Amino acid sequence: MSSEIDLSLLRPSSAKNSVDRDGGLPDGPANAAARSLRILLLEPYFPAEAVWGSAKTEQGFLPPMGTISVYGWLKHRGFDVTFLDTQFGDLDPEQIGNILVDGGFDVVGLPTFTPTADYVFDTARLVRRCLPKAAIILGNVHASQLPEFTLTQCPAADFVIRHEAEVTIEMLLEALAGGLSDFSAIAGLVWRRPDGAIVVNPPRPFIRNLDDLPPGFYSDLKLDRYVPHPTQYIRLPNYPLMTQRGCPYSCSYCEAGSILGKKMRMHSPERVLEELRILKHEKGARGVYFQDSTFTINKKWVMRLMELMVKDGLDLLWTCNTRADRIDPEMLDAMYAAGCRQLAMGLESGNQSSLDLIRKGCTVEQQTQGVQWAMSARMRCLTSYILCLPNETPEMVRNTIDYAKSLRTHTAMFYLPVPFPGSDFFLACQQSGGIRRTVRWSDFIAIDFDNPVYVNPNFGADGMRHWYRQAYLDYYRSPGVWWSNLTAIRGIEDARRLFRGGRGLAMLVGKDLRGLLRQMYRGFHGQGAPVE
């Protein structure tokens, strides 16, 4: 594992974000010499607790969408590419090392997220030991936001690809196959010169038309090992799909807009239907998780897709992420008819001043109305909240907890602030004086919060952890929440999913909640009254 990082040394990157200008995909066949390179796209090795913390008992496995998109593109273009996912826990570093040596790969790509960055760097060092001559590429959110710092921290890596990777990686492969050592002509690339200096190339325009990407998102990959978290499916087998790139909103804690642009780009409804057919008929899906950050952002697009799904008779039950202010009864009815049974919505706070602080762009009243519409439309609702935001007081946190209880959604998730470096929220937390000076990247995990990166001066670390646990205890001992869940059970699969979710929550919050659940179970079975 890497040593602690002094966050006070972080400076804004000299790399500009990708421009919201449309770009096309390469024409003609890929370079023949580049197609002879052996490429490995490797999900870095890290233990389950690095992502799931104490909730690892009921962890889920989602396909790494960004990496798989690059895999599908390179396959489509005729490259010799292999994908290896280590997240299932059945490979140790020694076994991964043997795979690397046996494969003799020329190029290895590793996705990099902040909570697992330390493990990515360890994996890169393993790759360098096993394949001394291989080109090592880092990409995805963390590397895109902090490209120079990432290459400085990870001497084993040669390149960072920022933002969308499909076109940039093909250009880089052609340059590597041609024996080039100057990569300054490749937009979207950050690279290390022979003298060690790090060069930041201009950003690459985003892909203009997503329908130009090859159909069949998962290409030839087998998906049977990907069983998601119980909050992410209605019916198994269930696989995620992304239909959009970009986000026009300016929420300060989220990096979606800075990574994939403010301009929304969407697959056509007809193309989404094609992908759904492939998932059902070729991959065996009975459910889908639309993993887009705001699936319902364009009502006209949604209504057309729902029309096509109903007409096709897909019989897929699905869930999606959205905003409570981007739904209405007409849309919800159409979605239900097309198989939607659950919405996940980040409400964040019951305090308008906090919503304004994080630039949520909506009101508490709009969020309340949206949740009420969704519940009336017979949707299961998962809502999430951030407690102890900058400037909040204990009274404001209590208000958010009471607000969540008043909505009585089937599931509520509570978090403490996680200000990722490179985000506007990081700067706001830093200015409030609450950012710890030294951290490990693994401290940015958005679960457990044993050692929070941001400590609100109005609470202190112990006070924040108290409210984090108290929110779960208060919410899940509410009879109204239990009633919402029990009355939503429609079959054995619903009951199994509810059991898995409850078990994961018990592990997350600890013995207090486990004891509470046992007490409530006895109460509902005539052995005592439920706790108010």
Q: Where are the domains of the chain?
A: 5-207, 228-524
Evaluate the CA torsion angle 496, 499, 505, 506 in order and state its sign: negative
Into which CATH architecture does domain 228-524 fall? Alpha-Beta Horseshoe (3.80)
160 and 14 Cβ atoms separated by less than 8 Å: no
Question: Does the bond joining 237 to the residue before it have cis omega, within 30 degrees of 0?
Answer: yes
What is the per-residue pLDDT for 447? 74
Residues 6 or more apart in contact with residue 32 via CB below 8 angstroms: none
* Distance in angstroms (rounded) separating the CA atoms of residues 180 and 175: 5
Backbone angles phi, psi at 182, to 5 degrees: -115, 115
State CA 225 to chain mean position distance.
19
The answer to whether the Cα torsion of 63, 336, 362, 505 is positive or negative is negative
What's the pLDDT at 411? 93
- Looking at residue 370, its pLDDT comes to 98
Cα(198)–Cα(150) distance, integer angstroms = 11
Residues of the chain with pLDDT under 50: 511-532
- For 291, 303, 308, 315, the CA distances from 312, given in Å and listed in that order, are 22, 14, 6, 9
Determine the Cα–Cα distance for residues 411 and 353; give it in Å rounded to an integer: 24
Question: Topology of 5-207 in CATH?
Answer: Rossmann fold (3.40.50)
pLDDT of residue 531: 31
Full DSSP string of 151-188: HHH-TT--EEE-S--HHHHHHHHHHHHTT-S--TTSTT
Residue found under tokens 């052609």: 174
